[in-house]
Structure 1
Amino acid sequence: MKMKSQRFHWVCLVIVTLSVLLWYVHMTRSDGSTGNMGLQGYVRIIPGRMDQFLNMHCTQCALVSSSGQMQGADLGKEIDQMGCVIRMNNAPTEGYELDVGSKTSLRVVSHTSVPLLMKNESYYFRHSADTVYVFWGPERNMRQDGKGQIFNALMKMATKHPQVKMYMVTREKVQYCDRVFQNETGKNRMKSGAFLSTGFFTMILLMDMCDSIHVYGMIDDKYCSRAGHSVVPYHYYEKGRVDECRMYRMHERARHGGHRFITEKAIYARWASRNSVEFKHPSWNLQESSRDP
């Protein structure tokens, strides 16, 4: 009886193991991704399929701001040593390697910046073929029924450059980000006339994707109100344009269509106090910054 019982247990164990193995084989795609596993708010743009989710994890992430604070930062080597380097929109590295580094693991791009990437198609989709792209935008631009102009353009790029991994933030994830903003501020984003920034979507993604986040070149919410703060361009690659603090104040006060950059920075400070997030160049005093927006 004892031998039969042991055999029965072994047979059950083998059946369970084989079932798990067959499930894994079924879920595993030929391109090495695992079916519906991964970050389900980010779906790959690929002809004939919209069921592959972003499956990316990094121990250490460097988020490089597009801010003029990065001019003369001399942080390129430090940034490139991080496991994953994340950039936003069309922020270039060529000619700025000493300050911002040359490595780009992931690039988060707004729907408004897609035409800028397409103008320099060779640089972004051939030269940077190893970069993962995550695009976000409102439903009217990203809808998949043939009427979403930005989605249609991205699908053409994905067809033309099948080696490039291109993802989009799902409608459900955009709505989730709206709820996060409302929970943090007590304000409905749409009713307040605000648009979330690319930085906001990027921070949400990285908190799911990275064990630790090192943010370079991002100012805190009180920076622009301090006496003697440095005056730098809004973007490090656009010299002579409007300065950063002026742009932030303009957007913060806009009644319609503005990003709430300063409010978002206060939110990041609260997130940093609960997660492994470090702000560098300039460094943040998280106790001072963690106020209600």
Structure 2
Amino acid sequence: MVSGALSFEGYSRVPDGKPLVRAQCRQCALVSSSGQMLGSRLGKEIDQMECVLRMNQAPTNGYEEDVGTKSTIRVVSHTSIPLLLRNQSYFFKQSWKTIYIVWGPMRKMSREKGGLTYRILQEMKEMYPSLQIYTLTERMMAYCDEVFQVETGKNRMKSGSFLSTGWFTMILAMELCEQIFVFGMVSDSYCREKNHPRVPYHYFEKGKLDECRMYLAHERAPRGGHRFITEKTVFSHWAKTRNIVFNHTSWVGG
């Protein structure tokens, strides 16, 4: 093991199954994919952090002034892998130093049973041998569900909800980082306030879905929704006892 490195047992390397081993980060930027990032000019501040965590296919190209350029770790949903494959020159050639951590249901992610997403990740690794790809272990996926139940009192599956990539990223950040700075994420009460500015759900998909409409629709969906607002309530609770700082003004005094 490298000097000062820790072993993160919940993350399994493709294809050999070894755990993620790396030094803990002193300061992490967790960068939201939200339209709140547009015009923020936070890029320089984000790039000054020791480690930068991004999600899914959120690009930096063309948005450097607002979101920065550095990508230490990218947490990716199994559903977003095809979107990364559409832009291989950016994700796997330019950003080859980035560690990719992929989550998804075990039927798709199983190494032993050759799940569909796992097989695609294996092919990616063969095409780009220097790529660092990890998957969440079955135990880690179960742990993330348990944390949701402890914090909300609701069983994730029975309540018909899916955890978001943001949830998995925050859980990883709490393990990996001594201090977490969250950029562009609104508070749990933001979308219920009158006169909040409308922004796109993703900063790189302008003119498409409205962020708050998306959050509220998911929160109310009887089945198959992400509970974005519930998750943010949990994050605000964690911030009281852990070293988590939210840069968006909606968290001030929260």
1:199 maps to: 166
Check the 8 A contact 2:10/2:19 in 1, yes or no.
Answer: no
CA distance in 2, matches of 1:52, 1:244: 35
SS in 1 for 2:36: helix
CA distance in 2, matches of 1:54, 1:159: 21
Shift in alpha-carbon separation, 1:56–1:115, aligned structure 2, 3 A: farther
Between 1:196-205 and 1:115-124, the stretch displaced more is 115-124
Give CA deviations for 1:17-73 in whole Å, capped at 9, x if unaligned. Answer: xxxxxxxxxxx4xxx5999x5110001113xx2123343410000011000000000
Larger strand share, 1 or 2: 2
1:170 maps to: 137
SS in 2 for 1:201: helix
CA distance in 2, matches of 1:270, 1:156: 40
1:218 maps to: 185
CA distance in 2, matches of 1:164, 1:43: 14
1:39 maps to: 8
Check the 8 A contact 2:43/2:69 in 1, yes or no.
Answer: yes
CA distance in 1, matches of 2:175, 2:235: 14
Give CA deviations for 1:226-276 in whole Å, capped at 9, x if unaligned. Answer: 111111000000011110000000100111110000000000001111101
Shift in alpha-carbon separation, 1:33–1:52, aligned structure 2, 3 A: farther
**Aligned pair partner of 1:87 in 44, 50, 54:** 54
Q: Is 1:129 matched with 2:101?
A: no
Give CA deviations for 1:124-178 in whole Å, capped at 9, x if unaligned. Answer: 0111011111100011110123541100000111122121111111010000000
2:160 partner letter: G
Check the 8 A contact 2:201/2:211 in 1, yes or no.
Answer: yes
Structure label with greater radius of gyration: 1
Equivalenced residue count is 254
Q: Is 1:139 matched with 2:102?
A: no
Give CA deviations for 1:192-246 in whole Å, capped at 9, x if unaligned. Answer: 0000000000000000100000000000110001111111000000011110000
CA distance in 1, matches of 2:14, 2:18: 9
1:65 maps to: 32
**% identity of equivalent residues:** 54
Shift in alpha-carbon separation, 1:56–1:111, aligned structure 2, 3 A: farther
Check the 8 A contact 2:10/2:137 in 1, yes or no.
Answer: yes
**Aligned pair partner of 1:269 in 236, 247, 250:** 236
Check the 8 A contact 2:73/2:99 in 1, yes or no.
Answer: yes
- Unaligned runs of 5+ residues in structure 2 are none
Q: Is 1:244 matched with 2:211?
A: yes
CA distance in 1, matches of 2:20, 2:92: 20
**What TM-score do you get using the length of structure 1 for normalisation?**
0.84
CA distance in 1, matches of 2:113, 2:167: 28
CA distance in 1, matches of 2:165, 2:149: 17
SS in 2 for 1:38: strand
Following superposition, which runs of at least 4 residues in structure 1 exceed 4 angstroms of deviation? Answer: 32-35
